[in-house]
Amino acid sequence: MPQLTDRLSRIHDLLTEAFEPVELEISDDSAKHAGHAGARPEGETHYSVKIVSPAFEGLSRVQIQRTVMLALQQEFDTGLHALALKASAPKA
């Protein structure tokens, strides 16, 4: 298993605490964006998240996205530039 970066660990902890997901996958995609807007040489700027949580039941896709982004606001304020998000409630 790859070693977790500091930001990746924080994202994992924040999302786990806020949403108690039944599925959570996070990947640091920063290397793919080197030289693009918002990319920094040290990385930790671009991430992909797949999260499935009962906390999202009854919420629209936009409401889920806003809720996740709000939970990660401190990370955006400190250098997180982009988040590719796939989020949903568990399928019945």
pLDDT (tens digit per residue) in 13-66? 999 999 999 999 999 988 665 556 554 556 678 899 999 999 999 999 999 999
- First-to-final CA distance of the chain: 31
Q: What is the pLDDT of residue 30?
A: 83
Q: What are residue 89's phi and psi, to 5 degrees?
A: -85, 160
Query: Considering only CA atoms, which of 22, 76, 74, 68 is closest in space to residue 49?
Result: 68
Q: What is the pLDDT of residue 91?
A: 92
Q: State how far the Cα of 11 lies from the Cα of 26, in Å rounded to an integer.
A: 8
Q: What is the pLDDT of residue 1?
A: 41
Q: Could you tell me the fold of the domain covering 7-88?
A: GMP Synthetase; Chain A, domain 3 (3.30.300)
The token pair that represents 32 in the structure block: 């793919």
**Could you state, in order of their start, the residue ranges of all structural domains in the chain?**
7-88
